[in-house]
Amino acid sequence: MHPYLDSGVVILLIRHGQSTANRDGLLVGRSDVELTEVGESQAQALVGRLGTVRVALTSPLRRAVRTAELALPGAEITEEPAFIEMHYGELEGQPLAQVGRVTWQSLQENHEWRVPGGESMADVDSRVHGRLNEIFRDTATLVASPDEHLAIFSHVSPVKSAVAWALGVHGGVAWRLRLDNATVTAIGAVGDRPTLLRYNERR
């Protein structure tokens, strides 16, 4: 049996492969950047690692969609806006090194602080947790199958938000988590409660 299925996984969350913004050190949320050649290779390396996945959800941004297409050739892929990256508003496209200390402190210390023209971390939690709750409750979805599971291709902020949801902890835990490109995070269930099984897994 595939190791994910053997663990009772119901949802796999995959961060997209390296994008041009990742490569260039830019803070990018809703900008629709492409994968780099490295990112495409990372996505292709996921083939065969995700077990039995016939249906996948993906952020509508191309870097996530392309990762899904390369990782799961032949799967039914549906765009799901709830798993789009955080809206960084006026910070969009800035070099990470130029984002001011006060701004980072505002994000880290106040989960409700909304980036001017964009979202707060709490806004991300609201849409991600709401959609995951719907998926978890729907017994007609693949998450209820004993030999299949659901893959979700997304971005750093939504995947970390999903981890907080699985653990039942405040979303501020995101600042204590590292999440690399093209990694797999696995969420299973104990009874009717989600549980985190694996995080930021490359192999």
* Closest-CA residue to 65 (of 41, 32, 25): 32
CATH architecture of 3-201: 3-Layer(aba) Sandwich (3.40)
For 194, the 3-state DSSP assignment is strand
Q: What is the pLDDT of residues 97-146, one digit of tens each?
A: 999 989 999 999 999 999 999 999 999 999 999 999 998 887 666 554 66
Alpha helices by DSSP H, 29-148:
37-44, 62-71, 101-109, 121-137
What is the average pLDDT across 150-173? 97
Instruction: Give pLDDT, residue 149.
Output: 82
Instruction: Give pLDDT, residue 119.
Output: 97
**What's the pTM?**
0.94
- The structural domains of the chain, with segments of one domain joined by +, span 3-201
pLDDT band at 10; cut points 50, 70, 90: confident
Q: What is the pLDDT of residues 34-65, one digit of tens each?
A: 999 999 999 999 998 988 888 899 999 999 99
9 phi/psi in degrees, rounded to 5: -70, 140
Instruction: Give pLDDT, residue 145.
Output: 62
Number of H helices, E strands in the chain: 7, 6
- All residues at 6 or more sequence positions from 158 whose CB lies less than 8 Å from its CB, including other chains: 13, 59, 82, 83, 84, 85, 86, 124, 128
pLDDT band at 1; cut points 50, 70, 90: very low
Q: How far does the chain reach from its first CA to its final CA, in angstroms?
A: 16
The catalytic residue positions are: 16, 85
CA R_g for the chain:
16
The two tokens of residue 24 are 């260039």
| 151 pLDDT more than 80 | yes
